[in-house]
Amino acid sequence: MVNIPEPYIIHYPKIVALADEAGNHVELVEFFDCVGGAMWSKHHYVQSPVVKNVRCVGQTIRYLLAPGTVDLALEGSRFPAGISSCIVDKSEIAITYIGMGGGGVGAAACRSGAIGVLRSRSDESGGGKVAGSTIWLPRMQRILIGVDDTDTPEEGATWTLVHNIAKAVEDEHSVYLSHTIVQLFPVPYRTKNCVGLVAEFATTDPDGLTERFQMLLERYTLSKKTGMAVYTGFTPSQDVLAFGWNVKRGEIDPGLLENLRDPNLRIVMDGRGIIGAVAALPFYTNYEEALELCSGKT
């Protein structure tokens, strides 16, 4: 007979938190193992005043949080669990969960042992108890790495290379969060499909992450025209977003990139693919817009 050592606990595999430079905005990223439990949390936690937005991205639920602490008026079935506090300091982000019954198990026992949690404090949970926990996570920042033009008409595929490099550069300081294929305007000199790629990371070591990614990209690219761009910041600026849409809508003058002034944007590999690499950045996790094929008329 199979033995289940913890029959009433489902451990979250990993939890990550990243903040903007001022500490006014936090994104809590929970990697989940049980889709039902994750969707239940997504449905109820959004009722907390601390939670400003919630969405599912792949195997993660992402909560956009405003730092602060509130008292939650929990009510069975209607509002049985939520996030009651988000505190940001220089190096850590503390998240407090509370829930009733099974929601208390999720709030207390299930999250405390996730990879990424530095330490935790939890109540006894289960049955009809109201229980909660506070977890402390490293304060990370978002790094977006855009890449284009790594293949040739004979071999290669940029989207696969970027994913494999992103997995390879993960370590205790950097977490690979997402991979987005961005459809660009089909210019005549494309390989075939004309897409750029953006890989998203949460990191406490942006320079080391960038260096390792560049090293592997230079090693494995098949093209002499590869472009690699890095954006450091909570959300790409409106100027970078406008540039991305211009590249999706038509062939552009390379001078548009030269005129793009954003202190958070860094050009790492300046081949012809740099246009698509920069254009991909603002579309990370926005899959519908990223994959839209524009006619060039709008």
Based on the fold, state whether residues 130 and 154 are members of the same structural domain: no
Domain shared by 133 and 161, yes or no: no
Domains in the chain, number: 2
Express each pLDDT in 19-52 by its tens digit: 999 999 999 999 999 999 999 999 999 999 999 9
Task: Choose the weakest-confidence range: 35-44, 118-127, 202-211, 273-282.
Answer: 118-127
**Hey, CA dihedral for 89, 44, 104, 203, is it positive or negative?**
negative
The tens digit of pLDDT for each residue in 173-222 reads 999 999 999 999 886 655 556 899 999 999 999 999 999 999 999 999 99
* Residue-number span of the structural domain to which 274 is assigned: 149-291
Domain membership flag for residue 247: yes
Averaged pLDDT of the chain: 92
Q: Give the CATH number for residue 231.
A: 3.30.70.2200
